[in-house]
Amino acid sequence: MKKTFLPISVLQIMLFSSCSMTKYFPTPVQTPLLSEKNELKITASIPGDVSVAYAPGKNIGVFSTVSFYNEWKESSTTINSAQEENEKNGNHLVFEAGAGYFKKSDKNLLLEIYGGFGLGKFDIDSKYNNDPINYEYKIPTSKFFINPSFGIKKELVELAFSMRFTALSFGKRTTNFNSEMIDNEELENLDTRTYFFYEPSFTIRAGFKPLKFHYQLGYSHKFGRSYLNYMPLFSTLGVTIDITPNLFKTTKATNK
């Protein structure tokens, strides 16, 4: 039996455990820390995120991100009044895009605020030992968010604290799950409300031009009493490539 699981940290696993699949994985908070026109930043990180940010103007930044997550679980579920062992895979895919404003002071302090939207999907693939049917559940997702950040940007290190506010919605589902599966997976009425979260995060990048190691740690908390199975602690680990106009000028001067 082939087993796959979401490549999240041990701490996340310790803080979060449920028999049903996770409905919301927070994507990385956008903290590009752009500081000049025509600057380009590319960040690739685990568990599964790639983001690109670019400054087309003196104080204007744009970004796009793709995030994908997978988790595997096994459980016992009632099918036709009998207990059946099953394995299930949950898959999340999210595309995000947005824009924002940034301002750098003479003391390497940065203020930025970004907002954007995301479109994605959430799928569950469930298989039972004594049932030949492959059960599937698919539902689209959409989100809007805004996050101000305060940071310090120096040649060897970048630090930032952000506070993101997210509004998450689910669309119309397609599934061959029966009512018992819907109840066991806590999937009923997902598309009847919008879920709101506040998500503080801390980001650090350290290294040299143009390559730095990247780490972000964040916490997600849902407003209100409505229940949703989501990941409260999220983190990313990867690398950031920072391409600035001065970097090209330095390269050309060296070649001469």
Reported as a single tens digit per residue, the pLDDT across 147-173 is 999 999 999 999 999 999 999 999 999
Name the H helices within the chain.
10-15, 179-184, 245-255
* Residue predicted with more confidence, 71 or 83: 71
CA 106 to chain centre: 32
pTM metric for this prediction: 0.85
Please state, for a pLDDT cut of 90, what percent of the chain lies above it: 66
**Stretch 49-66: mean pLDDT:** 97
Neighbours of 12 (CB within 10 A): 16
* Alpha-carbon radius of gyration of the chain: 21
CA–CA distance, 100 with 114 (Å, rounded to integer): 4
pLDDT over 90 at 130, yes or no = no
Region label for 11, one of left (φ > 0), alpha (ψ between -120 and 50) or beta (otherwise)? alpha
Among the four given CATH numbers 2.30.29, 3.90.930, 1.10.540, 2.40.128, the one describing domain 10-255: 2.40.128
234: which residues sit within 8 A by CB, 6+ positions away?
Answer: 8, 12, 25, 26, 28, 217, 218, 219, 220
